[in-house]
Structure 1
Amino acid sequence: MTARNSNRAIRPQLADEPRESEKPDANTPKLVKNASSACSACRRRKSRCVGGVPCEPCRKADTKCELDFDTDGRRRVAFKRKIQSLEQDRNLLLQLMETIRSDNTRTAPGVLNLIRSNASVGEIRQFLDSDTISSSADEMPPKIRRQTSRKYMDIKSLSDIPLYEVPAQPWTSVTDDSSFVSHLISLYFTWQHPVLNWIDRDLFLRDMRSKDLNSKFCSPILVNSILGVACFYTWYPEGFANPAEPSSRGEHFFKEAVRLLGEAEGKLTLTNLQARGDIYTSACVMGKDRLGWQYLVEIAECVRQFINRRDLFIRETKGDVQEMSRSIDTTLHGLFSLNPVATLSLQKPTIIKRPQLEYFPEDHHPADNWTPYPRQADALLAHTNCVKNGTFDLGIIMWEVSDYLFGDEKPPSPDATIIEGFYQRLQKWDEGLPNCIDKKSNAPPGVMDLHMRYHNAVLIMFGFILPGLDQSQSAEKERINGIRTTSAREIGIVLNQFRSLWPVEYMPMNSMQYATIALFALLGSLEHEDNQKSFTDILISLRALARRWQLAKGMLRLIQLTAMKQESKLPVEAEVLLRDFEEELWTASDRQRFSSLYPNFAVSTEFKEGTSAAADEAELDRLLEEWDNLALSNKKAETIQEDSEERDSEERDSEERDSEERGDGGSN
């Protein structure tokens, strides 16, 4: 027996296995583990809490048993995630309701088909959220981004039929993919061109299709500048110079256009002038409007030369003289109308002289339609010439406002009587619009932009009057503030109408400037419920644009920092949006990407003397550097304090448990 057992293989004891002497006796009472967080009553009694509601000590003592989640960091994180999940589900429900209620001929059929095909909640959310594909892809690691983009890109690409088929070669060396170039050209002439129109579309497309590098209305410089702008509207990964870098939209085409423009060595041609307009636009959207301003100065000089030599350019034309005349007039109209929008927004003096130009015939040609590419939907009447003429007339008034406020002879403090005269002229312009473009609802982007441009001018010029009014002028101050908040809400209404009709990713670039000025105007009047709602609605639009455009990102951060600095009481929804923006989108490195003149309107209007030094202090990149550092420091301090409080709470719990266990051991 003994011999047999001596030959038995001995199993080695595992490191974590208790020894025989350490195994608990069956008769030994089992120790009850403490709860990870004691209830409030046990904390007060300084007794051991074993968990559960009610816990055993509270049940025996017949006391109320409550858990304080705020003192438990782990529970608070889980609780926060649960709230975020519920908020996402609620937002999805509201999106579904709004889609079914107001978008029956567009998105609703697709949503219903997804639901009936047993699509997941995530797929439905992706379909509804027009900004999700690009924004979520921007935040993913490169490998996951490629997989996610490919999944949804394939679906969209299959149904993507460009409005305009054009060749990639010989116009650009960035890509030889004609389908992609056709996609970008179609996006540009659908969403950008109706708002900032300095190119005769039909003449440009005809010459681009000809592949003739010597054509009059198309050139590699112009094509690359257009493609660079169009990349800000695309979901294609080819629209990024670096697919792993969200801020690189259109940079490859932009750099190619700038290179070609440099090689032109200042040669004055129609397409070179037009290209400068789009290069300026790209630079601004990238958050580099200091560079953009340099191109705007070049545009002003080129426009001056074209106005002086217009007849000579037309006489030297080999071919249809009327085509060249029409194209030059379109360019001069469009670039002049761009100038006051830029100078008012940047609070700079006008740099283009007021031109004497003829109006376009408002003939309402049957072929003058606008189709919301890439959506398959019915076309709307574009009213292109009516919009051109209306924009030009509005531009003349805005030019005079800009010259008065920021020109060489600007007053120490704006005269309220002169500003009131501008306002009456703006009202007369608004009342005199043709019937075809006087309605903002169910209108193409060009008409929507026209109305927002009007309200933007009202907001800016009256914004310089308010700081100069004293307490004895309270009635006048209230009247002006009422005019401004009304215009701000009108901008919000137009932005909401756009979002209800088309995806926010196609909102024209001017919209972020209008939204920012409107938010600044509403920031000081949030005691009224209507203003609160409008503020939140506009903030939603700007936040969506901030996912795609660097300048919109900086503008939204400026709004957030201004509200923090002024200690403004924001609507709850707005606070949530801004907090989410700060946590998900904004990083300390973002401000380093800016070289921006864009002013903080809430600060710049406070300087009654209107000195250039004061304007410089209100510029976007300077304020972001100063205020963002302060905000991030405060946030870091708050985080450190919260972490310290959580650690202290956990240490107290641990000490209580250790003390109670030692006390139990002593009694045993």
Structure 2
Amino acid sequence: MANFRPLQPAPMDQEAPLQPQSRSMLPQKPKRTVTLGACVACRKRKSKCDGKRPVCTCCGQKETDCVYELGPNEKPSQAMKRKNEEMQGELSNLRQLYDFLRLRPEHEAMEILRRIRDNPAETSPSQRIQELANFVRHGNLLDPQHTHSSPPPFPREHGQSVTLPSLRLALDAPSNMDSHRLPFPGILSMGVDGPASQRRRFASDTDVSARSGSSTAPPPTSLEAILSPSPSTASDDSTSDPRLLYIRNWTNVTSDTNTLVSLMSAWTTCEYNYYHYLDRDTFLDDVAHGRTDFCSPLLVNALLASACFHSSVVKDREKPFSETLLTTMFYKEARRLWDTEEGQDSLTKLQAGICLFLVLGKHGRDKVGYTFLAEACQIAHRMDLFAIESPSASQSTSHASQTNWQRVQGVTAWALFNFQLTMSFVYAFPVIIDRPPSIAIPYCEDFNSTALFQSECAKHVLILDCVDVILGDSKADGDASKRLEEARTCHYRLTQWWKSRSKHLDPDLMPTRENLLCAMMYHVNIINIFQTTLHGEATTQQSENYYDHARIATLASLKEIHRLLALQQTRHGWVDSITFVLHPITIASFGTLDEISRADMDPRSTSFDSSELYQGLRTCLRALASLTSYSYYAQPLFRLLTQKCQTLGIRLPSEVQATLDSYMTEEWTRNAASLVSSQYIADTHSHETDAENARMDAIISGWEALSLDGTGKMKGPEI
């Protein structure tokens, strides 16, 4: 009989076929939950924590407090980085408080001490330090209505990040700083490749988005929270002035409302408040209503191109004329529109000419920018803004009232007069407009809000009378005593103007960026008045007495610029400065080197590092080093200054040397030689002997033969 297995009956339809035992599914273990970080209680008990929030399972069973040191979805390495930033932010706040107590008047320092002692019980020490730092930074001490109130939110720029130095460098920095030395500058220096915003340390499981409305908003105790903007910054600006939202209708470069509003906010803070080359209210009215009396696509694109230098929403600002750079796109659009308006004269085109000069000047291409400034002056003459008689308002359109038209004419004419006169001294070209406008200075009915503009108009009328003295043209007269007397008269008139200014413009009482810069420029004017005398030789007893007077006045102005720079650092830092501050920094830097040389100071002596002049020089070096991170033209000026320091045997601070190394490469030098087209003379002492070779064009063209070795000594020909 065959040895086969007996057949089984076929299964019925309703019965499921039996599966082989070998294919039966084994019960699978649940996947292991990965917990990024255990709570504090589980770590102490060495228990397994499942990471559930607000209370983990283990703590819930044991009825213990459940506190996480890590934020939701935060890795331990990220937490370590966040804690490091918080420590550095707190260190920065403490240094600012220290500098405030050291530099400010007695009554203001006592107010801070009172607030330190009056510590609310519900506020942690870190939060209290942050509150006090904000209070100091915003300068509310002298405003009675703010004396016992919280400081306003710190003005921030959209998308800004910072590069922080190591904590060890900060801790090792000497604490016995001179009165004119800045707080540790690297902490507040801006970098485009800095760390992303980190989450705050959590005392509970509440997500950061539930507290701030955004998962990327930095904590209030972090340094980045001070400098980086809240995502709602643009909406806050547009809420305060909804007219800003209509800027998108005037440019084809981008339709991103947040970006455009952020740029307009930066322009107002860092350009308009100082130069005031248009009437902002009438401009924004036309922006909102689509009118072209005081607004045009050309003006808007030129204005936005200039604003890009002041907002970190624009990445790689320190790299000029990149095709993908927002600055370049706005500039090219403005250039296209400028060409299409050839032969047309308007106030908006005149204002755009000032903007385009500023754009190119910030890139170190003032030679190219001069054509726009010269054309703006020609437009003003053709529109009779500088005629003997005041121009009529007959050019007013149906949309603009006669009052608005006259006001905008007056603002534009006086702003152009002030601007071209200042730039003629800065870039050493002849004065284009040699008489003030016949139009009355506007805003007389609203003095307090426009006091700075009116004061600057009055100053430039005085400066126009001193052109020959400042530029040294009176040498042709041959009468040395007459030239000395003219300079003394100019100095007296300028100091009288300074003393008569409104208290709202006092940089110590109201340390706004524009007030501080105007004060620095006043002292630059004094230095310019006396530079011809100091670079000459005294031949008579009278000229020798005047020489001593000129040197005393110049030295006092240099020290005052040092102090104002320190105040700028303490109040505002350098991340959103008015870029024209480069000029007083440069004048003060090279003027300080001249004074060190005249005084025969030995940089190798032990007393040199603690001297007032050297501390002032360090202030200038650190300010300039910070500005290089977003201002391209600051880079060649910084290199020129540091090279002269090394020529004189002056040791550079370690952080300054580290910054300099980036601008000593062959690639950087080659790019600078091709990009920079500037008449600027940084070292005015060289101007007396060889003006053409002292210009930045000539200096940069000779840099390819220069290099620095590891000891910091110069190789190749000296500057």
Note whether the superposition's TM-score is higher than 0.5. yes
In the other structure, the counterpart of 1:97 is: 94
Structure 2 unmatched ranges of 5 or more: 1-84, 101-111, 116-124, 132-162, 171-183, 197-215, 219-223, 602-607
- What code does the residue aligned with 2:706 have? A
Residue 271 (structure 2) pairs with residue 192 (structure 1): yes
Residue 466 (structure 2) pairs with residue 401 (structure 1): yes
When residues 108 and 499 of structure 1 are mapped into structure 2, their CA distance, relative to the original with a 3 A threshold, is: farther
Report how far residue 462 of structure 1 moved.
1.3
Could you say what secondary structure the match of 2:424 adopts? helix
When residues 188 and 239 of structure 1 are mapped into structure 2, their CA distance, relative to the original with a 3 A threshold, is: farther
Query: 2: CA distance between counterparts of 1:110 and 1:270?
Result: 50
CA contact (8 A) 1:419 1:461 kept: yes
In the other structure, the counterpart of 1:311 is: 391
In the other structure, the counterpart of 1:282 is: 359
CA contact (8 A) 2:321 2:328 kept: no
In the other structure, the counterpart of 2:145 is: none
Query: 2: CA distance between counterparts of 1:448 and 1:437?
Result: 9
Report how far residue 313 of structure 1 moved.
4.7
Deviations 1:375-400 (A, max 9, x none): xxxxxxxx442111110111122223
Residue 648 (structure 2) pairs with residue 568 (structure 1): yes
In the other structure, the counterpart of 2:709 is: 635
Map of 1:264-343 to 2, 5 A cutoff? Answer: 264-306=341-383, 307=385, 311-318=391-398, 319-343=400-424
Query: 2: CA distance between counterparts of 1:394 and 1:127?
Result: 33
When residues 480 and 552 of structure 1 are mapped into structure 2, their CA distance, relative to the original with a 3 A threshold, is: same
Deviations 1:491-549 (A, max 9, x none): 22222222212231221122111110111111122347222111111221122112211
In the other structure, the counterpart of 1:624 is: 700
CA contact (8 A) 1:360 1:385 kept: no
Query: 1: CA distance between counterparts of 2:595 and 2:403?
Result: 52
Residue 176 (structure 2) pairs with residue 176 (structure 1): no
In the other structure, the counterpart of 1:546 is: 628
Could you say what secondary structure the match of 1:175 adopts? coil
- What code does the residue aligned with 2:252 have? S
In the other structure, the counterpart of 1:425 is: 493
Query: 1: CA distance between counterparts of 2:86 and 2:618?
Result: 19
Query: 1: CA distance between counterparts of 2:401 and 2:714?
Result: 72
Query: 2: CA distance between counterparts of 1:471 and 1:404?
Result: 19
Query: 2: CA distance between counterparts of 1:540 and 1:246?
Result: 31
Deviations 1:164-188 (A, max 9, x none): 4322432111101112111111111
Report how far residue 245 of structure 1 moved.
5.6
Could you say what secondary structure the match of 2:706 adopts? helix
Query: 2: CA distance between counterparts of 1:603 and 1:585?
Result: 24
CA contact (8 A) 1:239 1:250 kept: no
In the other structure, the counterpart of 2:570 is: 500
In the other structure, the counterpart of 1:595 is: 677
- What code does the residue aligned with 2:590 have? F
Report how far residue 235 of structure 1 moved.
1.1
Structure 1 unmatched ranges of 5 or more: 1-87, 114-119, 139-148, 366-382, 608-613, 642-668
Query: 2: CA distance between counterparts of 1:136 and 1:155?
Result: 11
When residues 137 and 246 of structure 1 are mapped into structure 2, their CA distance, relative to the original with a 3 A threshold, is: farther
When residues 522 and 220 of structure 1 are mapped into structure 2, their CA distance, relative to the original with a 3 A threshold, is: same
Query: 2: CA distance between counterparts of 1:440 and 1:640?
Result: 40
Report how far residue 286 of structure 1 moved.
0.6
Report how far residue 559 of structure 1 moved.
1.5
Query: 2: CA distance between counterparts of 1:434 and 1:601?
Result: 33
Deviations 1:199-247 (A, max 9, x none): 111111111122x2x4211111111111111111111146869899699
Report how far residue 442 of structure 1 moved.
3.1
Report how far residue 477 of structure 1 moved.
3.5
Query: 1: CA distance between counterparts of 2:574 and 2:714?
Result: 37
In the other structure, the counterpart of 1:263 is: 340
**Match among 143, 149, 158 for residue 231 of structure 2:** 158
CA contact (8 A) 1:520 1:559 kept: yes
Deviations 1:353-381 (A, max 9, x none): 3123313345557xxxxxxxxxxxxxxxx
When residues 178 and 554 of structure 1 are mapped into structure 2, their CA distance, relative to the original with a 3 A threshold, is: same
CA contact (8 A) 1:350 1:407 kept: no
**Match among 154, 171, 192 for residue 134 of structure 1:** 192
Identity of aligned residues (%): 19
CA contact (8 A) 2:434 2:464 kept: no
Normalized against structure 1, the TM-score is what?
Answer: 0.67
CA contact (8 A) 1:340 1:399 kept: yes
